[in-house]
Structure 1
Amino acid sequence: MRRYNSPKYNLCVKLCTHCLQNKPLSDFNFKIKSKGILHSHCKNCSRTFIRNHYYNNRQYYLLKAKRRNEEIRTFLRRYLWNYLKKHACVDCGETDPVVLEFDHLKDKLIEVTRLVRNGPSIDKVRNEIEKCEIRCANCHRRKTAIQFGWYKNLPL
């Protein structure tokens, strides 16, 4: 039978201050990993506490996430607006950002404006913009109509 007060045993186990059970050190998360300091609650007790805390404060966390997502979308919208202000239509030279659009040349994953609405990282938006040319709405429609032959069979 093991002696719980032996120094050798104390190096292998730790008392959880919540459930009051001696558990192996691997059952505890690090508090400060660089110093080797462990939390006083075991992983199971920590998990239970976190779940209960979220359940009891769910509305707070949902509002916090909603605010953060709005901040990200606002930042990305400003980024797109500033990008369009610095670029002109490659066909006609139009510079008004209100009428400028992103015209994908290759490997389109999603429309840039839809991507911004989803709130991804700025790097994902930049990668998608790199695949595009800037065109005004009229030039974009004309290019797309010619590209896909929309008016090929119409009597004009």
Structure 2
Amino acid sequence: MLDEEHLPKGKTCSTCKEWKPLDEFNKRSASKDGRQWNCRDCNKAYHYANFDRHMARIRARNRRMIEENTRLLAAYFAEHPCVDCGESDIAVLEFDHLRDKRGDIARLVRQWSWSAVLVEIAKCDVVCANCHRRRTFTRQGCWRVVGFPDD
């Protein structure tokens, strides 16, 4: 990239064809002059004009990702029964995080790629809801496991 002092102090917007000072253009390191090819006003107008189309495309992509991840999660549960009791009903299977929890799998399935979800699943055991409660109570020393304190 050239030194700032050797650059022209303005340029012509490729959209509105008006010559404007450089501070009217957003920065873009990939271009020769370090600025975008259209001015901020034209850039803003473009984004406002295309917002609905853009958001519809994003929502459709997210919906497809969630459906695919949910299908893959059901298939994962079908292949991995509860490690404690062997229960295989996917309606009651859950993930028990053993270490380094980054997030709940149910939330991650809706927000992350399947490969990223698999990284998080690798930190877990598949257990049924009952075994998960028992593990959690034992691990946390719940009063139901420990018993009431003596008076």
**TM-score (norm. length: structure 2):** 0.71
**Corresponding residue number in structure 2 for 1:115:** 108
Aligned residues: 126
Structure 1: stretches of 5+ with no match in the other structure: 1-14, 29-41
Distance change (3 Å), C-alpha of 1:106 and 1:54: same
* Structure 1 residue 121: Cα displacement: 1.8
Distance change (3 Å), C-alpha of 1:96 and 1:51: same
* Structure 1 residue 51: Cα displacement: 3.3
**Corresponding residue number in structure 1 for 2:133:** 141
Name the amino acid aligned to 1:44.
W
**Corresponding residue number in structure 1 for 2:148:** 154
**Paired residue secondary structure (2:125):** strand
* Structure 1 residue 27: Cα displacement: 3.3
> Do the aligned residues in 1 keep the contact of 2:84 with 2:127 (CA within 8 Å)?
yes
* Structure 1 residue 79: Cα displacement: 1.1
**Corresponding residue number in structure 2 for 1:39:** none
Name the amino acid aligned to 1:97.
I
The CA distance in 2 between the partners of 1:65 and 1:96, in whole Å, is 34
Alignment root-mean-square deviation, CA: 2.6
**Paired residue secondary structure (1:123):** helix
Q: Percent identity?
A: 38
**Corresponding residue number in structure 2 for 1:66:** 59
Name the amino acid aligned to 1:69.
N
The CA distance in 2 between the partners of 1:60 and 1:145, in whole Å, is 49
Name the amino acid aligned to 1:136.
C
* Structure 1 residue 134: Cα displacement: 0.5
Name the amino acid aligned to 1:132.
C
* Structure 1 residue 50: Cα displacement: 4.2
- Per-residue CA deviation, residues 42-89 of structure 1 (Å, 9 max, x unaligned), is 823276544322211211212221111111111111111110000110
**Corresponding residue number in structure 2 for 1:105:** 98
The CA distance in 2 between the partners of 1:154 and 1:134, in whole Å, is 31
The CA distance in 1 between the partners of 2:40 and 2:138, in whole Å, is 59
- Select 1:86's aligned residue among 66, 79, 85: 79
Larger Rg: 1
Name which of structure 1's ranges 119-128 and 97-106 shifts more when overlaid on structure 2: 119-128
Name the amino acid aligned to 2:119.
N
Task: Give structure 1 regions of 4+ aligned residues with deviation exceeding 6 angstroms.
Answer: none
